[in-house]
Structure 1
């Protein structure tokens, strides 16, 4: 076993030495790796290992491409490298350009959960929502397909979902809730619905000893004259302990009560784990409003589709997540079945590496997660990516990521998954300085810039497409 690990590590280092320094980062947009310096492209390079595990997925691509009917469902599960949807979003664009745009795929209102997420969909609501991530201990929260529970008890709650990109208009929607009950009515509106109002922010300042009106004005970015006007002052004399109203251009949002008569309710069909809404036309906006009979309102996410054949690329990511965090919530897997995955991509390992987890324990957690995936998606191909290079701290590279990457590669055959070696395709530990110099690694030295994630997406797409092209030639 040790000998195999060393062999894999040497291959990775050779790849770095021969190719990483020759990568052409170019300008913004497309980043192409120059692999002309590789010693042997058949042995070392940007490739996917154990591609025989992808046969079912490749068969589905051929079927949809030839018939021009149906969807190809790709589900990409991960941690913070995936939640923002830069890496996976780049894959979505490239694969849909090649094989057709079947719709946006899975979407979740991260904004309402007070965290970052996909920028392609905008959410607003008139209610306060509570959330709970799968990284926390199991309790009564309904953590499902998104990996984040989202709930409110507001019986007047309304959510507006709107897509920012016209190419992701949707004519079909699937709605996932914990008990697969109709907690929400779904509808459209011919009128503009205001869920939040903006009012000038009220700022009060208690005067301290030694302060001047000029200093207070400078602190809040206003003028002495504006403060005098707001407080009906005739002079600039102020007294410690007194309060001043500070004029501000800032706005604060407050909830607005919305009558359900504003909405045209749509009927949905109940399936095993979701409700389907056939919308009849392509929409860019839709509303969820509380069913008054429910005691609480939970939403695990939606799937947005159009009527065209092609790729649905579902992104599911949770900041800080590990394989074991997903495994402990059964609702996640029950709802995962509803995505009807043809390919499940899994990108985790960074957080396990920061835990200094040993390779044996890590692989056991990977296997436990994959066993549950395969129970609900037995016909799906599985493709893992190794964790990307990072630092534990400044000038202290994350060497555990290399150990976990090697473990994933070694166990691909017995685990029956394909694998793409992201760690070594980005240069491994030796490539970290180049990643920083070329603006691919973010300032926290763990995550990547948008440019870095898009470059990663380009590399991954090239490897996957090359594997598919080789399959077609056989």
Structure 2
């Protein structure tokens, strides 16, 4: 530090003033941003949100600012996504500011232990059997990780928008079939062409909610979800999560499962995995990095213009009986976060440090005491998820405004 420019010359009073100025100069210097080792000048850090040079963010910012286009954000993840509390709040913030483009992608039927903030379903009853990548074998799942198999001809499910809006929407069905099938949505009939047992999206169909959907073709057809959009500009935020999911669950997806995802044309893809990997004491960081890089490459190949955001796992506690923080937290949590940040930098993505926002190691205990986390010290409360989503939204807005 050059103290000469701060140190005045004078008598005792001036000497005292000089000492105060030296302290002031020191404080200002400490607050100046410092690039970490290997961090490029293109890296932009707004609180916990780091931009490692993703050019797609500029296009997304311009599209949102225009206000006359549909913007689709799609989040893939584990239970933090499947609860649709974090994503529900993020959806609400985007839609309040930029317009409501509709609910987005939702499950085919009700999934036990999961929820949607935008759609509720009639009970499957004896009409449907649900399979998921969480507990069922197979390598023919869609990217939603769910398969609804009709158990009878003309199996029906009723979808209701939780906001009570009965307006008209456009609905596409994620399905696969070995023959032509028929889907009734309300009083309108739609043919689902033979997809040769590959997952694909049907043509959008106008529909009014509550919606009674009936599928014929019990032995030949399956559903993977519904994509619901409004017939006007606005933001759509799809929450596609499975309790207990890890990146390895993608191995159960059909080989071309990302094709219908590409057809949805998301402007931003958020990958929000890591909690379940962190609880794996035998996690191989090198293997995990290869898996994560492979997923990013897959998305980049089908969506070259989309923004990709990695969300690090929130803080969590695994060994509650231990007294020291570093022994209470999951063994692999630090490795997961390090790998995610490394991949984000190497692949020039966005990265949001959720754990850092919470306060770092063992911060979930303080969050739990304040009512922001559940007693399991893994999941957050509704208020905790909303607080987190508000932080990410605000940091995204700051970053996009800064970079426009």
TM range (shorter): 0.7 to 0.9
Match for residue 3 of structure 2?
none
Match for residue 91 of structure 2?
92
SS of the residue corresponding to residue 299 of structure 1 reads: strand
Residues 1:168 and 1:57: Cα distance change in structure 2 (over 3 Å): farther
1:319 aligned to which of 226, 230, 243:
243
Instruction: Give the structure-1-normalised TM-score.
Output: 0.68
Match for residue 463 of structure 1?
395
SS of the residue corresponding to residue 200 of structure 2 reads: coil
Indicate yes or no: 2:188 matched with 1:265.
Answer: yes
1:396-444: CA deviation from partner (whole Å, max 9, x where unpaired) = 2225212211221123222232111112111121423311211112111
Gaps of 5+ in 1: 1-38, 189-263
Q: Distance in 2 between matches of 1:439 and 1:165?
A: 26
SS of the residue corresponding to residue 183 of structure 2 reads: strand
2:386 aligned to which of 454, 459, 462:
454
Match for residue 105 of structure 2?
106
Residues 1:64 and 1:392: Cα distance change in structure 2 (over 3 Å): closer
Match for residue 276 of structure 1?
203
2:214 aligned to which of 257, 279, 289:
289
1:145 aligned to which of 138, 143, 146:
143
1:55-103: CA deviation from partner (whole Å, max 9, x where unpaired) = 324314423532x432111110100110010001111000111111111
Greater relative CO, 1 or 2 (CA 8 Å, sep 6+): 1
**What count of residue pairs does the alignment treat as equivalent?**
352
1:221-275: CA deviation from partner (whole Å, max 9, x where unpaired) = xxxxxxxxxxxxxxxxxxxxxxxxxxxxxxxxxxxxxxxxxxx224468799311
1:181-222: CA deviation from partner (whole Å, max 9, x where unpaired) = 75441221xxxxxxxxxxxxxxxxxxxxxxxxxxxxxxxxxx
Gaps of 5+ in 2: 1-29, 35-44, 323-327
1:42 CA displacement = 4.7
Match for residue 387 of structure 1?
313
Q: Distance in 2 between matches of 1:380 and 1:470?
A: 19
1:45 CA displacement = 6.0
Q: Distance in 1 between matches of 2:204 and 2:260?
A: 17
Residues 1:46 and 1:186: Cα distance change in structure 2 (over 3 Å): farther
1:137-195: CA deviation from partner (whole Å, max 9, x where unpaired) = 6426x42132122212311311111112145844211111024975441221xxxxxxx
Match for residue 39 of structure 2?
none
Q: Distance in 1 between matches of 2:319 and 2:167?
A: 43
Larger radius of gyration: 1
Q: Distance in 2 between matches of 1:98 and 1:86?
A: 19
Asked whether the 8 Å contact 1:78–1:316 carries over to 2, the reply is yes
Q: Distance in 1 between matches of 2:191 and 2:73?
A: 24
Match for residue 298 of structure 1?
222
Asked whether the 8 Å contact 1:154–1:296 carries over to 2, the reply is no
Asked whether the 8 Å contact 2:72–2:267 carries over to 1, the reply is yes
SS of the residue corresponding to residue 52 of structure 1 reads: coil
Tell me which moved more, 114-123 or 337-346. Answer: 114-123
